[in-house]
A and B are shown apart, each in its own frame.
Chain A
Amino acid sequence: MYAINVDNVTKFFSVINEDKTASGFTAVSSVSLKIETGKIISLLGPSGCGKTTFLEMLGGLQAPTEGSVYVDGKLVLETPPSIDSTKKEKRAYKRKYRFISPLANSMWRNRPKHDIAMMFQDYAVFPWMTVFQNVIFALKLRNVPKRERRERALHQLKKVGLDNALSKYPAQLSGGMKQRLALARALAVQPKVILMDEPFAAVDILTRERLQDELLKLIDETDITIVLVTHDISEAVYLSDEIVVFSANPGTIRNKFTLDIKRPRRRNSSEALEYEERIQSLLKYETKHLGDYAI
């Protein structure tokens, strides 16, 4: 059983230029990918190659232009009618989502469409809620019974070491603490899949390595599937079971590596360095035509 099944997905953005002409941009082009339950997958690639777009399609924050994404066997978002669809289909789609966006869960009842949690580079924890309220709120949105919420929130916050900052607001936390909060919030709801978009990119290197270790410890012995977008090769090699390298223009899968390095892993072990070198040379080739482009 695959946790995530991406079937020939394409994402096309129509762009209105300054001179009012319309043009298009293919951010992701015919990508197919199957991800097994319980694995950690990294998506690696130069910036602008559509990693975020791809992840947002997995999370149901953007609908693919073509193809479909299944999480846990369920279709994530209905693909909008394409140019070749009949008028009737187009009209039906338009009418269906006239008042409520296709991304919305429902009007009144809290219920996620899919059992996923997301983490963003800029944390996206709610600044108007305290640390504790942030986690409680996420649990409430999952309809966890009231008495269970506190216990689970407190338990998870203790695990990430935030139990002495419960009544602080995110503005009072450091970047690392905010990311811990986001991690605790994602884990507390016990999702099947966690999607992370460069989660550790905004913290310093020492905190980053600690957070990586904590992440591995926290998801140990769970069957949570993790899709991790990163531009940090050593992070990808240290964490993942599989690395998917993307190439830009249009964004497609360039190559896949399965890492059979035993866990617990050591940073900078010879095996790891070997993988890093291989990926590095692949990405160098990948970005050569872009000039001195930062990865």
Chain B
Amino acid sequence: MVATIKGGIILIRNKTLAFFRINIVHLLRLPFVRKARNRDILSIETPEQLCCEVQEFHCGAIKRILREITSFLKGAILNTFTPAFLVILVPLLLLWELLPRFGIVNYALIPSLSTVLLTFWEMLAQRQFLHDIGDSMVKFFAGLGLAIVVAVPLGVITGWNVAIRKRILPLFQMLSPIPPPAWVPITIIFFGVGFPMQTFLIFLGSFYPILFNTFGAVKDTEPRYLASARSFGASEFTLILRVYIPSALGAIIMSIRSGVSAGLIMLVIAEMYGGSSGIGFVLNEARSFFNVPRMMVGMMTLGFIGWFLVEILKYAESKLVVWKGGR
């Protein structure tokens, strides 16, 4: 099958080689061509690269996704655990292991690292802890997702339009100083104890940081860009889509980052106050049994989840906001 695309441009070594008509077998099915069509341009350095891209396509989607995930994990781990940091981290971990072991600190209050890791391993083997993590994550992503879906558009609209801002924003500015944990009692009365109440509390925690940061970033869009797009004829809708949002995108992703940390706080509070499963519940349970290693496992799991989500957001930013890099 020979596919034809009209108006494509192939750049080889940055020179325009051929445009307006390219015939290559299966060309249209190649993802990089499709991508190129969206971005109006297909830039490859050498003819060999074309072959590479073709091969890469044939190696299948799953493999490519795996490759992407690997590169993300590698980047996240290598960027955090740099040699410079390990020099600090390893002695700290050693202290944690040795001080309780030699009785310098109270072993019952601070169990050594190996004990905690062993407890972690046992908990994983019991499966119950995995269910708890899964449970917490479902609630967390439901709450955070809801917050993103509501707060980002609201922030964009209030950042864009002064009239809407004046009508809507003061309401949230009045409600936001109420600390989210203060909402717990009334939420329990409204929703009872369980999933809706926990999701709502997580939503509440991450909603305000996302809303206000998105709003601020959109409001501070460089007026020159707006003037320039308007003078070319942009409608307000196009301005929102092609100027306000792209210019604020980095800040929006970072606002989700603060939403993640606020959401995690609310996750723990919600599960401690009302729930029969989840990491917060495990923490509470461990307290009543005075099981310090179990508490520490719960805390470290939460810390790891937060770190991991932030790394994902950083990766998303680096992929979506490619244009920010300098020369």
Contacts and interface: CB of A to CB of B under 8 A. Distances in A.
B29 interface: no
A200 B321 CA distance: 29
A117 B224 contact: no
Contacts of A160: none
B91 interface: no
A295 interface: no
B86 to A, nearest CB: 33
A70 interface: no
B10 to A, nearest CB: 11
Interface string A153-183: 0100000000111110111100000000000
A118 interface: yes
A110 B235 contact: yes
Interface string A244-283: 0000000000000000000000000000000000000000
Nearest to A113: B233
A99 B326 contact: no
Contacts of A164: 14-15
Nearest to B231: A118
A61 B11 CA distance: 38
A169 B323 contact: yes
A124 interface: yes
B325 interface: yes
B9 interface: yes
Interface string B295-324: 000000000000000000000000001111
Contacts of A98: 163
Interface stretch (A9-17, A128-136, A284-292): A128-136
A191 to B, nearest CB: 9
Given A99-B163, A172-B327, A61 B242 contact: no
How many A residues are at the interface, by size bracket?
35 or more
Given A128-B247, A150-B40, A167-B43, A117 B231 contact: yes
Given A61-B231, A117-B231, A118-B231, A127 B323 contact: yes
B233 A142 contact: yes
Contact of A147 (B7, B16, B227, B325): B7
Nearest to B229: A141
B106 interface: no
Contacts of B326: 171-172
Contacts of A103: 230
Given A120-B228, A127-B323, A128-B246, A110 B41 contact: no
Contacts of B41: 130, 132, 166-167
Contacts of B14: 164-165
A116 B40 contact: no
Contacts of A56: 227
A112 interface: yes
B40 A126 contact: no
B232 A189 contact: yes
B40 A171 contact: no
Contacts of B183: none
A189 B234 CA distance: 13
B16 to A, nearest CB: 6
B164 interface: yes
Nearest to A109: B235
A124 B243 CA distance: 12
B19 interface: yes
B201 to A, nearest CB: 35
A59 B236 CA distance: 17
B127 interface: no
A138 B243 CA distance: 12
A112 B232 contact: yes
Contacts of A128: 246-247, 249, 321, 323
A222 B96 CA distance: 78
A99 B326 CA distance: 38
A202 interface: no
A154 B322 CA distance: 23
19 contacts: A104-B236, A105-B233, A106-B236, A108-B237, A112-B232, A118-B228, A124-B224, A125-B228, A127-B247, A127-B323, A132-B41, A136-B40, A141-B233, A142-B232, A154-B19, A166-B11, A167-B11, A167-B43, A172-B327
Given A126-B246, A147-B6, 16 more contacts: A61-B230, A107-B237, A108-B236, A110-B235, A117-B231, A118-B228, A118-B231, A122-B224, A124-B225, A125-B228, A127-B247, A127-B323, A128-B249, A133-B40, A138-B232, A142-B232
Q: Which 6 pairs across A and B sit closest by C-beta, in order of nearness?
A: A112-B233, A124-B228, A128-B246, A141-B232, A141-B233, A169-B323
